């Protein structure tokens, strides 16, 4: 099963403004270039270097709360379309030709979500609807429109 990267976003500091971009470098030590969450701390495991969310999950949450906010309001790095993100830590994802991510855990929603839309926190809870966290195993450049798929061992 293959999907596509439908959006790329980053924020340079915690709670800072989100910037949407068309292409970006992804690295082992820095995650998404220019994103504050991607830097792997000395001795750290980098479990949250890159976050991903499914377009259909975001759309379902928006429908549930009766709002129409852009996907990047979730503060995820990558929006995927036509692809069911695996809910199994350790699963590897290939994006484009070079980038490989490893799913580490579910991206838990934070209380900030209810400030965006009442009920959004609860709407993101079921079935990993809030997305997945990942660490970078192989870097490279990714762009909107790149394919994403599960990397077989």
Look at residue 76 and tell me if it is in a domain.
yes
Look at residue 138 and tell me if it is in a domain.
yes
Look at residue 152 and tell me if it is in a domain.
no
Q: What is the DSSP letter of 53?
A: E
Domain extent for 120: 2-147
Residues forming beta bridges with residue 51, ordered by sequence position: 133
Main-chain phi, psi angles of 74, to 5 degrees: -70, -20
- Two structure tokens written together for 26: 């992804």
Look at residue 22 and tell me if it is in a domain.
yes
**Could you read off the pLDDT of 78-100 as tens digits, one per residue?**
999 999 999 999 999 999 999 99
Please count the helices (runs of H) and the strands (runs of E) in the chain.
Answer: 3, 11
Look at residue 143 and tell me if it is in a domain.
yes
- Closest among 72, 113, 78 to 93, alpha carbons compared: 78
- Closest among 8, 9, 18, 24 to 112, alpha carbons compared: 18
- Two structure tokens written together for 97: 């030709």
pLDDT for residue 4: 98
Look at residue 153 and tell me if it is in a domain.
no
Look at residue 91 and tell me if it is in a domain.
yes
CATH number at 7 reads: 2.40.33.20
Number of structural domains the chain divides into: 1
Q: Are 100 and 145 in contact (CB under 8 A)?
A: no
pLDDT for residue 42: 73
Q: What's the pLDDT band for 123 if we cut at 50, 70, 90?
A: very high
pLDDT for residue 1: 83
Q: What is the pTM of this model?
A: 0.94
């Amino acid at each position: 099963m293959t999907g596509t990267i439908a959006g790329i976003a980053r924020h340079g500091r915690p709670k800072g403004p989100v910037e949407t971009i068309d292409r970006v470098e992804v690295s082992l030590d820095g995650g998404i270039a220019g994103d504050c969450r991607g830097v792997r701390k000395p001795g750290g495991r980098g479990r949250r270097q890159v976050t991903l969310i499914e377009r259909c999950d975001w759309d379902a949450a928006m429908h549930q709360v009766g709002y129409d906010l852009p996907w990047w309001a979730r503060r995820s790095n990558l929006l995927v379309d036509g692809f069911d993100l695996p809910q199994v830590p350790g699963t590897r994802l290939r994006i484009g030709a070079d980038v490989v991510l490893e799913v580490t855990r579910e991206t838990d929603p934070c209380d900030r979500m209810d400030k965006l839309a009442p009920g959004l926190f609860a709407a993101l809870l079921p079935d990993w609807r809030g997305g997945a966290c990942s660490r970078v195993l192989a870097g490279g450049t990714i762009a909107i429109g790149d394919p994403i798929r599960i990397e077989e061992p």
